[in-house]
Structure 1
Amino acid sequence: MLHHLSFGVTDLARSSRFYDAVLSALGYVQVWADDTAVGYGLCDREDLFAIKRRGAGARAPGEGFHLAFSAPSRDAVDAFHRAAVLHGGTDNGQPGLRADYGPHYYAAFVLDPDGYRIEAVINRCA
């Protein structure tokens, strides 16, 4: 359904360091960059997620919005959370099973440096 999504950020250098770390834990890489934005995905020039410098006008949506990144394993969810906290993110839910979402829903929740609510999740057996 979705082709890509982008966040407006206040400090592109800070945010790219954060997203380089957290998304690499999930197997995503920087697929393009310029002076105003950085794109992440799996293949060259094919971004699934981008951050765009918007300066002081950038605002994260409030309660009710979050972005969940697909993780290849529970270990990757754990690594995502560790990387987020080490690179300027704020814990918003330690890695673990979320029985309310299903018997195999393993996720971690953080706030990025601009306050965006993001998650890494794997929802399958084993």
Structure 2
Amino acid sequence: MIDHVYISVTDIEQALSFYLEALAPAGWRAFGNYDASSGPDNVPDLFGIGDPDYISGAKAGSSIWLRRRTPGETGLYLGIACDSNEMVDASYAAAISAGGIDEGKPADRTYFAPGYYAANVRDADGNRLEFVHKAWNTTR
């Protein structure tokens, strides 16, 4: 299951307007922002849009996070939901074994939320994967 996607845009307000209108019929809506000043330097400000399941927290859902594009930036950022911390560890190890480039070893990422455990890798073309287990997502 896709947990989340980061979409890099040049104009946050314009992109928010577009995505909110385009996704409204499917029940998606804005739910909040992540302020980069509360986390590590490599995590930018993020603007969240979620599907009804993500918003309600009733079960695992999907989200889109808009971020301001940096000069020369390319590639996709895709969050893959894992059922456990051990699955995050195994997915990370498999990706590194397959030639992935480390962008964050498996660890708790409490700057996002308590119970957020993740690992990050990049492929040779600059696309990024985040393997993530969210302790509160007990049903998919």
TM-score using structure 2 length: 0.43
TM-score using structure 1 length: 0.48
Which has more radius of gyration?
2
